[in-house]
Amino acid sequence: MELIVFALLAAVVASLLYFIIGLIPGTDETASIAPIILLLVLANIPPEVILCFFMAAIAAMETSNSVPSAIAIIPGSTMTVPFLDACEVGRRYGIPHILLRKMLAASVVGVVIALPIALVFGSILQPFGNVIRSYAPWAFLLGALLIALFSKARWAAVLAVLPFATFIGATQELSSKLVGHSMFISFFMGIALGPMIIDIFVLLSPPVSRSLRSNSASSVNIVREGTELQSMNPMRVLGRRQLGLTSVAAAITSFFFVLSPVGMTVLVGGLAEKIRGSALKRLLDKIVAMDAVNNSTYIAETLIPLIAVGLPLSPMALGPAAPLFNAPPRFTIEPVNNIHTLLSTNAIAMFSVLGALVGISISYFLAFRRARTWCTWTLRFISMETLISAFVGLAIVLAYNEAGVVGILATFAMALLAGFMNRFLRVELGVLYMSFYASAAVTGKIIPAVGDFLRGIGVAP
């Protein structure tokens, strides 16, 4: 009983904290959620509480990030970038407040539909867990190549997989010699904060930073919300047509848990837009479907791999949810010793549902009634410097905890490389995470096999 109360309190704290973070423009889910979860894992907090905290955080953030998108046309987080075009059109229709309420209601539907599907589908896949685990390194390599192939960077990303995985493998060897063990947290944090760190380094280089100078503070225009009272029941807010659409979109996409959430959101938005109707109806269909998918993929991509295999085999599990799978020395994937093994399926289900429902309820209530007030307050009083300082400071402490000064240097080295690949080559972070996990297969199996083959045909000494 005490554990449930503790988990409930953690969920409430996570909901409030990530509701506000979701309102701040430009925040990234991985960079803002993963460090806190890592810290909770390393601080020996019970796994039930960590899971509950995480589910509340993700449900709250993925709901509140709709607010700045709809009423200020700025992305609340990385996931809401695809929403902006539709939000801009909604604003020109003069209905951003209606759009926002529909988006919030779609978030609720996305979470409520994805939870049972993820729990049941994860349990169905559980008997195949051992088989999947035995092929894990290859699955990561295949995953990295597939995500790369379907990403924007396409061939640049595909060709980067092997060299990046080899670089990680070689650096792991080096870190074993320097600190006596391999590193995970330092590299993971480096990849997660890569885009942010590269932006900071760019400012330190006068020839590049000169072009980024700006003499005015960021200016945001906020449209007034409608003042009329409206039912908060998500089913009434959406209406029958949009309720059906969001439910179907959330349900179908939950099964494709290995695909990119952004990719699926864009795909579903494009399909929903093609359904016949007036321009306004098509716009609303598009935005509600995208928002529901945004939430459902996050829930499904965490829970299905967590229940079925205990390995981070989805872009979400490789990003914000990664510390639930791998946070050495407490949680490991070789051998699998994490929430998958520490909690029964029933316990995972119970604490996930508790966290997600607390997160979505708090966030929905706060955003629905006072979206403009919250958004204005956050935009006016929380500066970008604060967020960057907090996350970089946290990453430095976590890296130091893992490997001392070497850990901090490794984090920055990895952040520079990952940030460069992401910002300038547009290689998605999911590709880099997958390559990171595939590095064991690349350096342990592929490179020796290629060496043997070349020696066999007399090409190499």
List interacting residues with another protein (CB under 8 A). Answer: 25-26, 36, 39, 42-45, 74-75, 89, 91-98, 196, 199-200, 202-203, 209, 212-228, 239, 278-281, 284, 372, 376, 379-390, 392-394, 396-398, 400-401
Tokens representing residue 429 in the block: 């972070």
Which one, 54 or 167, has the nearer CB to another protein? 54
Whose Cβ is closer to another protein: residue 134's or residue 373's? Answer: 373
Nearer to another protein, 134 or 383 (CB): 383
Q: How far is the CB of 396 from another protein (least distance, A)?
A: 4
Alpha helix ranges (H) inside 256-331: 261-273, 279-308, 315-318, 322-325
The residues pairing with 154 across neighbouring beta strands, listed in sequence order, are: none
Choice between 212 and 459, CB closer to another protein? 212
Q: What are phi and psi for residue 314, nearest 5 degrees?
A: -145, 155
Closest to another protein by CB, 27 vs 435, is 27
Q: What gap in Å lies between CA 270 and CA 425, rounded to an integer?
A: 25
Give the integer Cα–Cα distance in Å for 327 and 86.
38
| Helix, strand or coil, per DSSP, at residue 292 | helix
Nearer to another protein, 404 or 451 (CB): 404
Chain-centroid distance of CA 444 in Å reads 29
Q: What's the min distance (Å) between Cβ of 387 and another protein?
A: 8
**Structural contact between residues 234 and 108, judged by C-beta atoms closer than 8 angstroms:** yes
CB of residue 298 vs another protein: minimum separation in angstroms? Answer: 22
Tokens of 130: 């051992």
- Minimum separation from the CB atom of position 89 to another protein (A): 5
Chain length of the chain: 461
Contact 29, 322 (CB under 8 A): no
Inter-CA distances, 256 with 60, 149, 369, 405, 419, Å: 22, 17, 34, 40, 28
Residue 266 CB, shortest distance to another protein, in Å, is: 19
CA distance 57 to 363: 10
Q: How far is the CB of 173 from another protein (least distance, A)?
A: 26
Compute the least distance from the CB of residue 443 to another protein, in Å.
Answer: 30
Our CA angle for 339, 341, 346, nearest 5°, is 75
Q: Which is nearer to another protein, 209 or 341 (CB)?
A: 209
What is the bridge-based pairing of β-strands 336-337 and 332-333? antiparallel
